[in-house]
Amino acid sequence: MTRLGRKLQTFASYLAAPVVMVLLGASVAQAQAPPVCSVWLIESSRFMKVPFGAFMPDRAFVPGSTDKNNNIPTVDLPVNVGVIKCGSDLILYDTGWKQQDYLKMTGSEHWAPIGEQLKVLGFNAGDVTKAVIGHAHWDHAGQLSDLPNAVLYVQKQELAAIEWALNYPEKHIRAINSDPGGCNRTPACGYMPLTMEEVYGKVLKGKAVVVDGQLEIAPGVIIHPAYRAHTAGSQLLEVPTSIGKLVFGSDAFSSYEAIRDWMVANVQQTDSVQQFLAYERCYKITGGYENCIAAHEPLSYTDKYPITKNSWVALNGGRMAEIALAPGEKSRKP
């Protein structure tokens, strides 16, 4: 090879090296970037005509008031369940509850079994690989036995707090229900036997992960603890999507309007300071409040809660929304 040829070869290798490095870097970055997920929201059921003040104290109805915060007497509260498809994983965030005939009098309507609702979206109950419960109250952690292949994710603090309350000597504090009219905020309130036995059923079958703090359960899908934001072991779920990151909050995010307006909502075993810190977590992760997914927002499935507006009426009058689709994912909206 001539001198000129060698020089040209050297020059070419110098030129090629950075190009190869850039290409390698890009492919590595592509491999490391978490894939985005597809997300739908389904209404497990709807609590009808709940006094607004019982849901949000700052929105309590004042007869004759013209203040928009105090002129609505009752609201209908959906019980929202997140359906999240990430690659081969099908994840539920909260699992609703199993309304049987005997619970129709509790003031709820539009219930349909979780398996039937998943079929509307083209999935089967057996396809669910993971069930993350935001907390273990009866209207959020039911139907677990109908998800035979799902691994349950529950926060360690949630279980510890229930066990603590059960062993407390004062009978009102250890009561699941403190009186026949129902409990509101006592420590074990809301953890009914059927729900807790279903949680135990998952543990017994080796299909439960007791989470202690933060945990990434799929690429980019991250459980964040939100201790005492609704219950002792509340947990949020961060989900990467084509429209940005979403954060599901269960009852730590009971109301979209509450997150937007910085008000407490659905105060049960809630430390209001921690609830606000959970709101802040969503603002930080998603860059605002629009991508915070609330469990009981009365405006769900309307354009007044924009992320849920791409909605339709499905089984038994219950509603569904298609929130985000991953590239190549087909729309499930009829």
Partner 1 sequence: MAAALIVCPRGACVVRISAPREHRCVDRAAIAGVTSLNTSDTAFARERPIPTIGVPGPRPILLTSTVLVLVALVVLAWQHEQRLGTPTPVQATSQKPEPRALSAEEESYAASLWEIHREVTPSAVAMSFAGIVYETGSRDKDQFERKISPVAAFFKGAEARVRGLPVPASLLQVHNQYLDALVLYGKASNGMLEFAKDGERQHLVEAHDLHISASQAILRAGEVLWPGQYKPH
Nearer to partner 1, 129 or 266 (CB): 266
- Residue found under tokens 């529950």: 154
Single out the residue of 40, 133, 319, 324 in contact with partner 1 (rule: CB under 8 A): 319
Single out the residue of 102, 170, 327, 331 in contact with partner 1 (rule: CB under 8 A): 102
3-state secondary structure of 176: coil
**Measured between alpha carbons, how far is 261 from 283 in angstroms, rounded to an integer?**
12
Q: How far is the CB of 81 from partner 1 (least distance, A)?
A: 15
Single out the residue of 208, 217, 229, 294 in contact with partner 1 (rule: CB under 8 A): 208
Single out the residue of 60, 176, 277, 326 in contact with partner 1 (rule: CB under 8 A): 176
326 binds partner 1 (CB under 8 A): no
- Asked if 84 and 90 touch (Cβ cutoff 8 Å), the reply is yes
Single out the residue of 58, 89, 103, 326 in contact with partner 1 (rule: CB under 8 A): 103
H helices of the chain, in order, are 3-32, 52-55, 114-120, 156-166, 171-174, 193-204, 256-261, 272-286
3-state secondary structure of 305: coil
Angle at 305 between CA 302 and CA 306, to 5 degrees: 90
> Which one, of 101, 121, 105, 160, lies nearest residue 43 by Cα?
121
137 binds partner 1 (CB under 8 A): yes
The interface region with partner 1, picked from 14-22, 114-122, 136-144, 217-225 by CB under 8 A, is 136-144
183 binds partner 1 (CB under 8 A): yes
- 47 phi/psi in degrees, rounded to 5: -80, 125
Tokens of 91: 């994840």
Q: Which amino acid is at 112?
A: A
Burial (Cβ within 10 Å: 0-12, 13-18, ≥19) of residue 34:
middle
Query: Contacts with partner 1 in 32-71 (CB under 8 A)?
Result: 46-47, 50, 55
Strand partners, 141: none
216 binds partner 1 (CB under 8 A): no
Single out the residue of 238, 251, 257, 322 in contact with partner 1 (rule: CB under 8 A): 251
124 binds partner 1 (CB under 8 A): no
The interface region with partner 1, picked from 13-21, 58-66, 177-185, 273-281 by CB under 8 A, is 177-185
Q: Which DSSP state fits 317?
A: G
Contacting positions for partner 1 (CB under 8 A): 46-47, 50, 55, 77, 100, 102-111, 137-140, 145, 159, 162-163, 166, 171, 174-184, 188-194, 196-201, 203-204, 208, 210, 251, 266, 268, 296, 298-299, 301-304, 313, 316-317, 319
